Structure 1
Amino acid sequence: MQPQSWPEPDPQVAAAIRAMYRGRREAPLAVQVRDRLGELFPDAAFADAFGQVGRPGWSPGRLALVTVLQKAANLTDRQAADEVRENLAWKYALGLNLEDPGFDHSVLSEFRSRVVAHGLEERVLDLLLERLQTLDLVQAGGSQRTDSTHIVAVVRDLNRLELVGESVRAALNALAAACPDWVDQVLVVEEWSRRYADRIDNWRLSASKTKQHELAVQYATDGYTLLQAVYAPASPGWLRELPAVQTLRCVLVQNYIRTPDRAGRLRIRQRERAEDGGDGLPPAPIRLASPYDTDTRWSAKRDLFWNGFKLHVSETCHPQADGDRPAGPNLITNVTTTCSTLPDSKALDTIHQSLHRRHLLPARHYLDSGYPSADLIVSSAKDYGIALVTPVLLDTSPQAKAQQGFAAHDFTIDWDRKRAVCPAGKISATWNDVVQDGVAKTVVAFAALDCIPCPTKEQCTSSRKGRRLSLYPRELTEAIRTARAQQQDGTWQRDYALRAGVEGSIRQATHTTGLRRARYRGLAKTHLDHTTSATALNLIRLNAWWNGHPLDRTNHSHLARLQLRLAA
C-alpha cells in the first residue's frame, strides 16, 4: 500500500449529484461528509497494517469510509460493495468515476481483520474526533454522560451439556481440516461421525436427568480420549496448538473432575456449584460459554440474562433551555467494549484514559449509580480533574435503612486528633487502622462504660458492648458524605436529569446500526464494530446539525400529539 491523497470527485458524478439534489433537496450523507470534511480517513493513518511491497490493494482510507457508511445504513458487506458500484453518492464521496467496478465484498472482511490484527480498532473514531476538534465542534471540558448496555454475541446459546458436546465437535472438525490423514489413522471416523457430524443442538435432549448425565459423561469421555490421542508422543506436536483443541481442554477442566477409584481407573464426574455441595464451577468472568467465541460470557443484570459483551457509550451533553437551539450536536466521544461480567465501576478508569488520550476529558461526567465509588470519586478529581455527577449508594447500616436512630453520618469525625464524637457527646475510646477484605479502613470503637448506661443506646446500637464505626480513609469518607448530602438537594436532582439523554443515544445506536447483536466473533472485532458504529452515528448527527434538523428523534403517535397539543 502506497499512501495517496483521495482523488477529487469525478466531474460527471459531481454534475449528476448537483442535478439530482438541486434546490431544496438535501444531498445524501455521503455527499455532505465529503463536501464538509474532505479526506476524512487518510491512507497514511492505516499504513501500519499494510506492507509496502506486493500486489496493490484498495485504498484503506476509503475502505474505512465505506465501513462507516455501511454502518450508517446498516448494510451487509455484499450490500456495501454493491453501493460502491451503483450509488452515485458513494462514488462522489470516494472519488470514483462512473466506470469504476469497485471491489469484491470479501475485501471488507480482510480490511477489518488487518485493522484488528494491528490494534487499529479505534482509528476511525480518533480521526473523526480530531477533525471535529479543529472545527470546534467538540472540545475538552464541558459535560459528558456515559451509560452501558448489553450486547448479545453472534454465537448460539448453549447450556453446559451442549457446550461440552459442541467443543468436542469443534475440535474434531479443526483436526479433520488441519490433518485429515492423522484423524483417519488414529480415530474410527465412522463412529465419531455418528455422534458429532451434526450440531449438538440440532436434536432435542432427553428430559431424563439420568440420561442427560450419561450423555454428559459420554461427551467428556470422548473429549479426554481425543486429547489423549492429540498429546500422544507419535502425534504431530503442532496439533495440540490448534485453538479448538486448547478450548476443549479448558472446557473439560471447567466442567469435569477426574478422580481415580480403588482400582486406579479414572472416574469422570461433573462439577457442581459450591453452594450445592459440589467442587465448584469457575467464576463467571473466566467460564467459557462457546467454543467458537472464547471472549463471550454469560451475565445477568436484574431480570436480564444474556450471553455476550457490554458496551459503554460516552457522549457530550449540552444543557438546553426550553425552545433554545442547542449549542451543538451531542457527539459520541468514546465507546468501550468489555466482557459482560465486568462491573461498570471497573470500566470507568479505562473510559477516562481513552478520553485523556483523545484530549477530550470532561469537567463534569454524568453517570448512573453503577459506576461510582468513593475511591473513583476521589481519583477522578485528583488524576483527571473530573467531577463525577452521580448518585452514590446510600448508607446501608440498620439505622440508616430504618431512618431512625444514629447512623454513621451523625457522628463527628476528628481526623487530626484521631477520635470520633457521638451525638450524645461521648468520645471514642480506640482508633485503629486496619485492612478489611484488602481495603484500608479505620475502626473506631466507643467504650462500653459510655454506651451501656447511655439513654439513647437503643437508637444507636444493639451491641452488648459499645458502638463501632468502620470508616474509609479520610479523603474517601469526606467525599462520600459530601456526595450523599448533595444528591438530596433538588437543584442537584434537576441537574442530574441531563444524564437520561444517553439512554436515547443507546436506543439510536441499537436501532440505526443494529448494535444490540454482535456481527463478529471476538472482543476485538466487536469493539471495531462499535467504534465504526459510533463514527457513523456522529456523522448522522452532524448531518442533522448541518441541515438544521431537530436532534430529538422521538416518534409520537397522532393520539400522543393531540394530548401534547391539549396539554399546551
Structure 2
Amino acid sequence: MTMVPQPWPEPTAEVARAVRARFHGREMPLPVAVRDRFGELFADVEFASAFGVTGPSGWSPGRLSLVTVFQMAENLTDRQAAEAVRDRLSWAYALGLDLADTGFDHTVLSEFRSRVVAHHLEEKVLDLLLARLKEMGLVEAGGKQRTDSTSVVAAVRDLNRLELVGESVRALVETLAAAAPDWLAQVIDVPGWSRRYGRRVDSWKMPASKTKQDALAIDYARDGFALLGAVYAPEQPGWLRELPAAQVLRIVLLQNYTRTTARNGREVVKRREKNTEDGDGLPPGSTRLASPYDTDTRWSAKRDAFWNGYKVHISETCATAADDAGRTEHVPPTAKAAAKTPRRPKPDRAPRRPNVITNVATTASTLPDSKALEGIHQSQQRRGLLPDEHYIDSGYPSAELITGSAARYGVALITPVLLDTSRQAKAKEGFAAHDFTIDWENHQAVCPTGNTSTAWTPNIQNGVTKTVVSFAALDCIPCPFKQQCTTAKSNRRQLSLHPPQMTEALRHARARQQTKDWNTEYVLRAGVEGTIRQAVAVTDLHQARYRGLAKTHLEHVYSAVALNLIRLDAWWNGHPLDRTRTSHLARLELRLAA
C-alpha cells in the first residue's frame, strides 16, 4: 500500500454550514471541537515510514488515526466507525470530507492497525497530542503525576489445561486443512479426527470423572505428538514447521507433558503436575501459554481477582489549585471564536489545567508493577514529561526504585513502602531492624543493648545486592532480650541490609509515611482510580478488543488519546470534574451524624 503525505482538506463550506445549523445554541460535538481546536492533529507524514512508495493508494493514515480515536471515544466496532465516517456530519467536518465522499470499507481499519503495529508506531498519536498540548501550555515536565494499573481480559476464550491442549491440536489441524489439505489427508484419518476436532473443544461437555479426563488428555497428547512428528519429518516441506500453529502446539505439549521411552521400547506420555520432586513439574505461569490464538496472554491473580490477559498502567498529571496558583488560563489562537462564548465559572478548588494522561503501558499480567515502573519513566523522559513527584501505590516501589528513580530521572516516588515484615516489627516487641545503628564505614552494626556485630557478609539475594550482618552467639545468649530479639537455632541475631543509600531511603520512607502530613498529601493518588473508572466506562478498558500484546497496547494508547480529548473538551466548555453521587440514604446518615 502506498501513501503520499498530504495536508488534510479544510471542512467544506456546505458541511460547516450544516454542522453550525444543526448544533446552533448547543455545544459542538467532540469531533467538531477537535478539528476547531487542533486543526490537522495527526499529519500523514508522521506515518510515512509505515507505507511504501509503490502499490495501490490507501486512505490517509493521519485521518484513519483520528477515526480510530473517535471509535474508542464512542466504543464503536469497525463497521460502526466506518459507517459513522459516511453518515455523520460531525465526523465529516473533522476529517475534511464533502457530502459526496463514500468513506472506506471497515476492513481498512484492521489493515491500518496491523501496519501501525508492524512499524512500531502504536504510541505516535499520543506523542503528537502531548507535543501539541505542551505547545499550548496545558502539560509540561515537572509537577505531580500519578500511576495505577488494572487488569485487562484478553480477547480469547478461557481454557483449562485439558481444553488448551485439545484446542491447540485443533488449531494446527484447521491451519493444515486450509494450507495443505492434500498433505493432511495423507497423514491423518480425516473422518476420525473430524469427530474429535471438528468443533471447538470448549463447545462440548468434558468427561465428568478425573479418570476419563486424564485418558482424554493423553489422547490429545498422542494426537499432537503424532501430528508434529509428521510436520517435522525431514522429507516434508520446511514451511510446514514454520506455521505459527505448529510452533504453539509444540510449546503447549512441552509445557504440559513428558515423553519417555520405557525399557521395553514403549513410549510413555505423562501429564506434568504442579509439584514434583523430579523437576518435571509445570513451568512458571509467566512462561506458560494460555491460548493457542494469543501467545502473549497469561493467567494471573491479584487478591481476589483471577483473569487471563494483560495489565495496563495509566499515568496522568494531577495538578491541584495550589500547584497552578498564579497561572493564567491559556486560550489557543484557533479557539478565539469559541472563547467568546460565555462559560460557567470554574470552582476555585479546580486546577487551572485539566488532568492529562501522559503515558500508557501494557504489560503481561504476570509482570509485577515494580518491573513496569522503569519503562514508564523512560517513556515520560522520551516525551519530556517526567514529573517531580510520582504518586504510586505500594505495588510499585522497592528500595532500588526509590533511590534509582531519584538518581536517574530526578523523580521522587510518593508511595507507601512495605513495612518491616520481621517478627519483631510485627509484634512490636524486641528489636526490629531499624532499632540497630549501622556503621557503614567500619562495616559493623550496634544493637540497642550496645553489642557490636562480628560478621559483615555481602551477598546476592534474589538478584539484589545485600549484606548479612551477624552478631556473636556469646553476646546474644546471655542477653535478657534474646527471646524477643531472635529465636534462631544459632542463638544469634542476623540482619539483611540493602546498600547504604537504599537502607536509609527505606528507613526514611517508613518513618515519614507514619505522619499525618504524608497521609494528607498521599490522598492525591486516589484520583487515578477515577481515571481507570472513566476508561472502563468509556472504552471498556477491562476487555481487550484485539489479540496480542502489541495490538492491545495500540488499543490502550488510542483510548488514552480519546480520554484526553474528552477531558479537554469538557474543560474548555467549563464542565467541572464529575463528583461521586451521594445517595439519599447516605445524605440522611451524614445529616444525622452532624
Q: Which of the five TM-score ranges fits, normalised by the shorter chain?
A: over 0.9
Partner of 1:8: 10
TM-score normalised to structure 2 length: 0.93
CA distance in 2, matches of 1:254, 1:234: 27
CA distance in 1, matches of 2:178, 2:214: 31
Partner of 1:206: 207
Partner of 2:142: 141
Partner of 1:465: 491
SS of the residue aligned with 2:86? helix
1:332 and 1:538 in contact (8 A); partners too: yes
Structure 1 residues 203-261: Cα deviation after superposition (integer angstroms, max 9, x where no partner): 11111111111110111111011111112233211011000011001100000111111
Distance change (3 Å), C-alpha of 1:174 and 1:345? same
CA displacement at 1:553 relative to structure 2: 5.0
CA displacement at 1:118 relative to structure 2: 0.5
Alignment of structure 1 residues 275-286 onto 2, 5 Å: 279-286=280-287
Alignment of structure 1 residues 73-84 onto 2, 5 Å: 73-84=74-85
Partner of 1:503: 529
CA distance in 2, matches of 1:532, 1:563: 42
Partner of 1:428: 453
Partner of 1:130: 131
Alignment of structure 1 residues 300-449 onto 2, 5 Å: 300-320=301-321, 323-449=348-474
Match of 1:47, as an amino acid?
A: A
Match of 1:261, as an amino acid?
A: A
CA displacement at 1:558 relative to structure 2: 5.1
Structure 1 residues 287-318: Cα deviation after superposition (integer angstroms, max 9, x where no partner): 00000111100001111110000110101102
Q: Unmatched 5+ residue regions in structure 2?
A: 323-346
Count of residues in correspondence between the two structures? 567
1:413 and 1:421 in contact (8 A); partners too: yes
Match of 1:507, as an amino acid?
A: R
Alignment of structure 1 residues 471-490 onto 2, 5 Å: 471-490=497-516
Partner of 1:183: 184
CA displacement at 1:188 relative to structure 2: 2.0
CA displacement at 1:54 relative to structure 2: 2.0
CA distance in 2, matches of 1:151, 1:171: 27
CA displacement at 1:341 relative to structure 2: 0.4
SS of the residue aligned with 1:109? helix
CA distance in 1, matches of 2:206, 2:84: 45
CA distance in 2, matches of 1:257, 1:414: 53
2:520 paired with 1:494: yes
2:574 paired with 1:548: yes
| Farther-moved stretch of structure 1 (325-334 vs 26-35) | 325-334
CA distance in 2, matches of 1:82, 1:554: 35
CA distance in 1, matches of 2:308, 2:173: 24
CA displacement at 1:110 relative to structure 2: 0.6
2:261 and 2:267 in contact (8 A); partners too: yes
TM-score normalised to structure 1 length: 0.97
CA displacement at 1:472 relative to structure 2: 1.1
CA displacement at 1:462 relative to structure 2: 2.6
SS of the residue aligned with 1:119? coil
Partner of 1:72: 73
CA distance in 2, matches of 1:285, 1:3: 42
Structure 1 residues 4-47: Cα deviation after superposition (integer angstroms, max 9, x where no partner): 00111110111111112223x10000000000111000000110
Match of 2:352, as an amino acid?
A: A
CA displacement at 1:185 relative to structure 2: 2.4
Match of 1:248, as an amino acid?
A: L
Partner of 1:513: 539
| Farther-moved stretch of structure 1 (545-554 vs 119-128) | 545-554
| Farther-moved stretch of structure 1 (277-286 vs 154-163) | 277-286
CA distance in 2, matches of 1:27, 1:436: 59
Q: How much identity, in percent, do the aligned residues show?
A: 68
2:320 and 2:350 in contact (8 A); partners too: no
SS of the residue aligned with 1:284? coil
CA distance in 2, matches of 1:438, 1:105: 49
CA distance in 2, matches of 1:85, 1:527: 28
CA distance in 1, matches of 2:393, 2:309: 22
SS of the residue aligned with 2:286? helix
Alignment of structure 1 residues 218-233 onto 2, 5 Å: 218-233=219-234
CA displacement at 1:465 relative to structure 2: 3.0
Partner of 1:34: 35
CA displacement at 1:559 relative to structure 2: 4.9
Partner of 2:550: 524
Match of 1:98, as an amino acid?
A: L
Over the aligned positions, Cα root-mean-square deviation in angstroms equals 1.7
Partner of 1:250: 251
SS of the residue aligned with 2:315? strand
CA displacement at 1:277 relative to structure 2: 7.7
